[in-house]
Amino acid sequence: MNRSNLTVPPEGAPVPAPHPDAPVGVPLGPHYARCFGCGPDHPTGLHLEAVSEDGLGVSATFTVGDVHQGAPGLAHGGVLATAMDEALGMVVWLLRKPYVTGRLETDYVLPVPVGATLYIRTRCTGVVGRKAYLEAEARMDAVDGPVAVRAAALFVEVPVAHFERHGAGTSGGDGAATSGGAGTSGGGAGGVASAADLGRRVNP
Ligand SMILES: CCCCC/C=C\C/C=C\C/C=C\C/C=C\CCCC(=O)SCCNC(=O)CCNC(=O)[C@H](O)C(C)(C)COP(=O)(O)OP(=O)(O)OC[C@H]1O[C@@H](n2cnc3c(N)ncnc32)[C@H](O)[C@@H]1OP(=O)(O)O
């Protein structure tokens, strides 16, 4: 894909070992029930469903709905970038540290119609200090379908306080969702309802 060197790990950058608690071969479930990317409680979200492959890579599916259109009958490019961001974020979630997207690069290779299902695979390609490098590819309508979107990203590790300091209305009161969901019941990564939950998850 076309990409800047900001999302390419420096030569010799180590790929981390999977976290010992990282789930393998199981559905991840949502990390947050109201997440636009993966939350089952979000009415028009992407409802991405993902499986950890080996603790460092994730397979996810996203079916484009009516609410995701840009041009008539076609997925909005920003929505597709969000789907890639979400699937990439699920990989750093497996590393059991809080990260945010610093940079996201996207190549749109094919138009993606409403009703299409994207089969997304993402992978961590290196970690240097607070920076995690990741790549993603989305194939149309089958795991071995044509490539529709490619992405690369730099995620930056942040303290749990990042979410406490910057999140509005997520301190566990009315704005907080119950994490519930497949994340906790499916033996997967486990959902969070608040920044405090996130802290407990990272430092149990
Ligand atoms: C309260 C409720 C909590 C609920 C939370 C639930 C879950 C959340 C937790 C985990 C997520 C789980 C699953 C994933 C799900 C979804 C995926 C979507 C993820 C997102 O959608 S997340 C939202 C969008 N995201 C942001 O909202 C970030 C806004 N932003 C910032 O918060 C700062 O900007 C930050 C922190 C990025 C950096 O700030 P900073 O001050 O900490 O660090 P600094 O600037 O020193 O950068 C350190 C090193 O990164 C390099 N670096 C930084 N930025 C770069 C860039 N853009 N390009 C190239 N390199 C960059 C520097 O060059 C330096 O590199 P070097 O060390 O080599 O000098």
- Ligand 1 atom nearest the C-alpha of 131 is 50
pLDDT band at 170 (very low <50, low <70, confident <90, very high): low
> Could you tell me the end-to-end alpha-carbon distance of the chain, in angstroms, rounded to an integer?
39
Residue nearest to atom 32 of ligand 1 (CA): 100
Helix (H), strand (E) counts: the chain: 4, 6
Residue 9 DSSP code: P
Q: What pLDDT does residue 169 have?
A: 67
Residue 101 CB–ligand 1 contact under 6 Å: yes
- Ligand 1 atom nearest the C-alpha of 164 is 1
Residue 14 scores a pLDDT above 70: yes
Residue 178 scores a pLDDT above 80: no
Lowest-confidence pick of 25-34, 102-111, 140-149, 188-197: 188-197
Q: What pLDDT does residue 203 have?
A: 61
pLDDT in tens, 29-66: 998 899 999 999 999 999 999 999 999 999 999 999 99
Contact 133, 14 (CB under 8 A): no
**Sign of the dihedral defined by the CA atoms of residues 177, 104, 51, 40, in that order:** positive
In this prediction, what percent of the chain has a pLDDT beyond 90?
Answer: 76
pLDDT band at 204 (very low <50, low <70, confident <90, very high): low
In this prediction, what percent of the chain has a pLDDT beyond 70?
Answer: 87
Mutation pick for ligand 1 pocket among 49, 100, 194 (CB with most ligand atoms within 8 Å): 100
Residue 154 CB–ligand 1 contact under 6 Å: yes
Residue 7 CB–ligand 1 contact under 6 Å: no
Residue 42 CB–ligand 1 contact under 6 Å: no
Contact 182, 29 (CB under 8 A): yes
- Ligand 1 atom nearest the C-alpha of 166 is 1
Sheet of 131-140: strand order equals 49-52, 57-63, 117-128, 131-140, 147-157, 99-108
Residue nearest to atom 54 of ligand 1 (CA): 102
- Separation between Cα atoms, residue 93 and residue 28, nearest integer Å: 10
pLDDT in tens, 81-95: 999 999 999 999 999
Tell me how far apart the 2 most distant CA atoms of the chain are, in Å: 47
DSSP assignment string, 11-72: TTPPPPPPPTT---SSB---SSTT-TTT-TT-TTS---EEEESSSSEEEEEEE--GGGBSST
* Average pLDDT along the chain: 88
Q: What pLDDT does residue 122 have?
A: 97
Q: Note the residue count of the chain.
A: 204
pLDDT band at 197 (very low <50, low <70, confident <90, very high): confident
Give the Å distance between the CA of 176 and the centre of ligand 1. 22
Give the Å distance between the CA of 155 and the centre of ligand 1. 6
- Average pLDDT rounded to a whole number, residues 123-127: 96
- Ligand 1 atom nearest the C-alpha of 37 is 16
Q: How far is CA 95 from CA 14, 79, 98, 125, 156, in A?
A: 14, 25, 8, 13, 12
pLDDT band at 7 (very low <50, low <70, confident <90, very high): very high
- Separation between Cα atoms, residue 126 and residue 10, nearest integer Å: 8
Q: Which of 84, 131, 98 is nearest to 32 (CA)?
A: 98
Give the Å distance between the CA of 131 and the centre of ligand 1. 9
Domains of the chain: 23-198 (3.10.129.10)
Residue 120 scores a pLDDT above 80: yes
- Ligand 1 atom nearest the C-alpha of 100 is 22
